[in-house]
Amino acid sequence: MRPKSFPLVLILIAGLFIAGCSGVSSKTSGEPSSSATKTTSNDEALKKSPKDSIAYQFDLLKDGNVSQLRECFTDRIKDRVTDEAVAKGKSQASSYSLDDLVASVEMGEAEGHQTAKIMMKNGRTLTTLVQVDNKWLADTVWFK
CA dihedral 115, 121, 124, 126 (to 10 degrees): -50
Residue 112 and residue 79: Cα distance in Å, rounded? 24
Domains of the chain and CATH, by start: 43-144 (3.10.450)
**pLDDT for 30:** 38
In sign, the C-alpha dihedral spanning 136, 41, 44, 59 is: negative
Residue 122 and residue 88: Cα distance in Å, rounded? 21
Question: 88 and 104 in contact (C-beta within 8 Å)?
Answer: no
Question: 98 and 49 in contact (C-beta within 8 Å)?
Answer: no
**Which residues, 6 or more positions from 110, have their beta carbon under 8 angstroms from its beta carbon?**
130
**pLDDT for 40:** 52
How many beta carbons lie within 10 A of that of residue 119, not counting itself?
16
**pLDDT for 144:** 80
> For every one of its 144 residues, what pLDDT tens digit does the chain have, with 9 covering 90 and above?
544 544 433 333 333 333 333 333 333 333 343 333 443 567 788 999 999 999 999 999 999 999 999 999 999 999 999 999 999 999 999 999 999 999 999 999 999 999 999 999 999 999 999 999 999 999 999 998
Question: 93 and 114 in contact (C-beta within 8 Å)?
Answer: no
Q: Using the 8-state DSSP alphabet, how is residue 79 labeled?
A: G
Q: Using the 8-state DSSP alphabet, how is residue 39 labeled?
A: H
**pLDDT for 22:** 34
